[in-house]
Every structure is written in structure tokens, then in C-alpha cells.
Structure 1
Amino acid sequence: MSRDLPAPPLPTGSPAIPAQNAGPSPLTGLAPPTGLAPLTGLTGLTRFNAAAAGTAEAILLGCCGSRRWAERVAAHRPYPTLDALLAAADEASYDLPVADLEEALSSESSTAPHPDAPQAAHTALRAAHAAYESSFGHAFVISLDGVRPDERLDRVLAGIRSRLGNEPDEERATSADELRRLVRSRLRARLTLATPAQASGMR
């Protein structure tokens, strides 16, 4: 069943939405991880492997809001490589029951346009998010890896409009796939930092 979503046209060249895979992501409202600073001299994956269970789970929850998922991934440390961790994160995501997936999706928040975007962009995105959340009960989730910054806003709007026609089960599966890609990007960003000072301030 399809739904028509009216939205004002966007001015050409409007500013992009913020990047989703670094800093505090606009798709998450979760607090940044803490507790890594005492592991002085270690970076990235080594610090993650050496962290206390609660700290490791907090880092993971900053990437995906399912507690079951975070506990499972943290419990299988140490990981020999970042790719091994990403593979484990994927596997744990595939096995999530519906309730845990819904918990993860409920922790996501709607993407906002860049503060300098014109009012038309704010209006269009706000209307699109409202229509999506009314239909599916959670924020719209999309990975923007490989999308140019100046194309991200249009990609989000096009994605919402096309996915509004999905049945609930179909959209849940699509959201799970997009969330999985986002989680990989968030993990990679948090665990490939060059210095202890950067790692202790991971967002």
C-alpha cells in the first residue's frame, strides 16, 4: 500500500545533512562511551578488547541500542582484527529477535538537516520523518556510506518516500539491514583511532 507524501521542493545545492558515521551521529541520541582512558598506551581494538565488560558494552550500545546484541558481542572478546569484530557484530544482528530489533530501532533518532540548510529543507525533512514514524513507530534509519555530502539530504528524503509504501514486516527487514550497515560504520569509526587521547574521547 502506497502513501503520497507531499513535500516542498528543495532548493538546488542545499547543504547536506550531517555525516552519520562519526562524531555523535545524528541518528543516535546515545551518550558517548566512557571508561577507556585508564588503558593508557593502547588504542582502538586493543583498548576495546582490554576494557571491562561494562565499558565494552557501553561502547557497543553507542553503536546499536540492543542490550542483548551488545552483551553478546562483548562476551566474545578478544577479537584478533577489526574485521573479525565487524563479522561478529553482523552475526549477532542477524540473530536478533523482533523485540531486540525494536529496542535497537527505538534508540535511533531522526536525521536533521544541516543547521545552515534552508527552511524548505527543514520543512520537507520534518514532514517526511513524521509520516514515516507515524506509519512504522520508529525513526527512519539509513546508511549514507559512500554518499556525497551534498547528496545526503536528497537521499534521505527519497529513501523515506520510497519506503513509506512498504508493509511493516518488509520495512522492519529493510531497517534492520540499514542499521547493520550503520553499526559497522560506527564501530569502525570508534575503533580505528590513532592515539589514546582520541580513543578516550570516542563519540
Structure 2
Amino acid sequence: MDLQEFNSASADQLRPMLAACCDVSRWVDGILTKRPYGDLVVLTAVADQLLRELDDNEVDRALRAHPRIGDRAQGASTEASWSRKEQSGVGDDPEAKKAIAEGNREYEARFDRVFLICATGLSAQEILANLRQRLTHDDATEAAAVREELRKIAVLRLGKVVEA
């Protein structure tokens, strides 16, 4: 949909699409209540600012909507389809997939959450290198990294909802 359609669509129509970008009600509501948007730059800036304001519980909620990196999202939902495309760089290399799966387990044991990365355009080796590097973070540094990756994913997905 283009920006004009986005601005005029009902909230009920947009809510599931926005939740597929970031499954946090306050973020979705914030995007909806600030309509109409004059251009995509303003919409993106509002979305970005609202993402930066998420509290820890909202970040945790948003993370629950993301599959592990390397796991194929199941189903026909918009979010599952986007996730499969975003993770296409993981590919079918069994060694890389095994290393990522092991890294996921180590990450989850260390940080008690799913490893999140904006995987669009990244190869399996790049994802694995990032995963290994982030395992060296302290809790605060990693929490900031998670927020940044969540922000990048949500903004990228919002661009899929509203295409010029």
C-alpha cells in the first residue's frame, strides 16, 4: 500500500500489519494515532522514535514474536513470510546451520532470550560472526544491541507495509 492508503486505512486493517513489524501495542497505537503522515521520512522517524521508547517488558514481548535465527518460521502469516525472506542468507549449509544452532543455545543460556539480528542481506557466516561477537557482551551492552536490532527489523518491515 502507498502512504495515502496507509493514512486512510482503518486502524483495524492496519493493526495486524503493524504488529507484524513490532508486536507491541503501544508502538502500533502510536503509529496509528499520529496519522496522517505527509511522507515516508516522517512515518519512519515517528516509528523509530517510538521504538527507542520501548521499555524492557515491551522489548521482551516483541522478541517473543521472532523465531530463532536459522529456524524457518512456520505458517502463512505476514510475519512468518517476512522472517523466512529475512533469514534467507542462512541458506542450507549444514555446518553453518549447526554452528548457528549451537550459538543460539549458548546465547539463550547466557542472556535468557532469543538471539535477534536484522538478518536481511547477511550470509550465514556474517550472522555467526555477529552471534559469536555478541556472546562477549555484558548484559547492558547486549540489551542495547537487541534494541538496535529490533529497531532495524521493525523499520525495515514498516517499509514493506508502506511502499511508495
Q: CA deviation at 1:190?
A: 2.3
Check whether the contact 1:143–1:179 (CA below 8 A) recurs between aligned residues.
yes
Give 1:142's match in structure 2, choosing from 114, 117, 122: 117
Structure 1: distance between partners of 2:31 and 2:19: 10
Give 2:141's match in structure 1, choosing from 170, 173, 187: 170
Structure 1: distance between partners of 2:91 and 2:64: 28
Check whether the contact 1:53–1:75 (CA below 8 A) recurs between aligned residues.
no
Q: CA deviation at 1:144?
A: 4.0
Structure 1: distance between partners of 2:134 and 2:117: 11
Structure 2: distance between partners of 1:136 and 1:111: 15
Structure 2: distance between partners of 1:173 and 1:54: 32
Check whether the contact 1:69–1:92 (CA below 8 A) recurs between aligned residues.
yes
Check whether the contact 2:91–2:124 (CA below 8 A) recurs between aligned residues.
no
More contact order relative to length (CA 8 Å, sep ≥ 6): 1
Aligned twin of 2:83 = none
Structure 1: distance between partners of 2:56 and 2:69: 23
Structure 2 alignment gaps of length 5 or more: 71-86
Q: If the length of structure 1 is used for normalisation, what is the TM-score?
A: 0.66
The 1:93–1:178 alpha-carbon spacing in structure 2 relative to 1, beyond 3 Å, is same
> Hey, which of these two has a bigger chunk of helix by percent?
2
Structure 1 alignment gaps of length 5 or more: 1-42, 194-203
Identity over the aligned pairs, expressed in percent?
27
Structure 2: distance between partners of 1:116 and 1:105: 22
CA RMSD of aligned residues (A): 1.9
- SS of structure 2 residue aligned to 1:103: helix
Aligned twin of 2:5 = 47
Paired residue total:
147
Aligned twin of 1:132 = 107
Q: CA deviation at 1:116?
A: 5.7
Q: If the length of structure 2 is used for normalisation, what is the TM-score?
A: 0.80
Q: CA deviation at 1:83?
A: 1.1
- SS of structure 2 residue aligned to 1:140: coil
Return the index of the structure with the highest Cα Rg: 1
Aligned twin of 1:190 = 161
TM-superposition CA deviations, 1:22-69 (whole Å, max 9, x none)? xxxxxxxxxxxxxxxxxxxxx322222111112222111111121211
